[in-house]
Amino acid sequence: MPVAAALLVGLLTAAQSRLNSELSHAFGNPLEAAVWSFGSGLAVLGVAVALSPPLRRGLRRVATAVRAGGLRWWQLLGGVLGGFFVGVQSAVVPLVGVAIFTVGTVAGQSVNAVVVDRVGLGPAGVQAVTVRRLVSAALAIVAVVIAVSGRLGGSSFSVVPVALAVLAGCGIAVQQALNGRVAIAANGPMPSSVLNFAFGTVGLVAALAVTTVADGSTLHPVGGAPWWSYLGGVVGIVFITLAAWVVPLIGVLLFALLSIAGQLTAALLLDLLAPTPGASVGWNLVAGLVLAFVAVSVAARGRRR
């Protein structure tokens, strides 16, 4: 069951990339799309908190754990990294497509998952760095280079979106570790989701306010995008909650590897069947995706042993 849930998280992450990309295109501002995604998710969770006594008890357990020192206050801030991921997602996917964005986040997530497990940031504690893990992380980086190699030197290609995708992936590995700790303190994954959406929304609203004032722009009215593009927040609730439940059971690295497999599969299908204007599926991209799968299998095999 945890394995299937981790794969589903990956599929939903790629789907959310496509939804938020469509919303970003309609708004003309990726930060507005990210605020809608997190804000709508927070609204749904707010209703859940009001209607669910067990969820409120879970949030009180988290507060008690922070006061008692069993949980540090900064370990509640995983949602800020989630907000950064969604903001980057909304900006980058329209430029390079779901698949290249996903390969970039895969590299960042794979490399940083090794670091996160080594320092014991996740609920599973400190885990040794093995040769397999290092080889897997190196293969993930090479996969990114191969995936974008067909577009290097092109007038429309910039390395900045890919670098941002890698950085967002690094943040996700940390976010998953922190969420796992909060889920254990709350004795359930839903309070972790509530805190994620709360802190993520605050961070994104602050960023949107600063950029709006700085450039003198105005906010766009909601509307003009397909109805399904507004469901990114709901999709986020599902996969953040699943991740918070699964990470304490199987560890940050194995979860990352399984969810990556789901992301890669869905990303390629989305760029083939419902591409964004920036998407381009060539042999380089397919080869990069295959190599990323190899990186996943290498590390997963070592984990099973």
pLDDT of res. 164: 92
pLDDT of res. 266: 80
Rounded CA separation 118/13 (Å): 25
pLDDT (average), residues 132-160: 72
Report residue 246's pLDDT band, with 50, 70 and 90 as the boundaries. Answer: confident
Cβ atoms of 292 and 212 closer than 8 Å: no
What amino acid occupies position 65? Answer: A
Task: Check whether 244 has a pLDDT greater than 80.
Answer: no
Burial class (CB in 10 A: 0-12, 13-18, 19+), 70: middle
Q: What is the DSSP-derived secondary structure letter of residue 125?
A: -
pLDDT digits (tens, 9 = 90+) for 256-267: 777 777 877 787
Rounded CA separation 263/266 (Å): 5
Largest CA distance in the chain: 57
pLDDT of res. 63: 94
Residues contacting residue 73 through CB under 8 Å, at least 6 positions apart: 66
Task: Output the CA torsion 118→119→122→125 (10° steps).
Answer: 80
CA distances, 48 to each of 51, 54, 207 (Å): 5, 10, 27
H helix count then E strand count, the chain: 11, 0
Task: Check whether 74 has a pLDDT greater than 60.
Answer: yes
pLDDT digits (tens, 9 = 90+) for 195-204: 989 999 999 9
Q: % helix / strand / coil in the chain, to the nearest 5? A: 80, 0, 20
- Report phi then psi at 7, rounded to 5: -65, -40
Helix (H) or strand (E) holding 186: helix 159-186
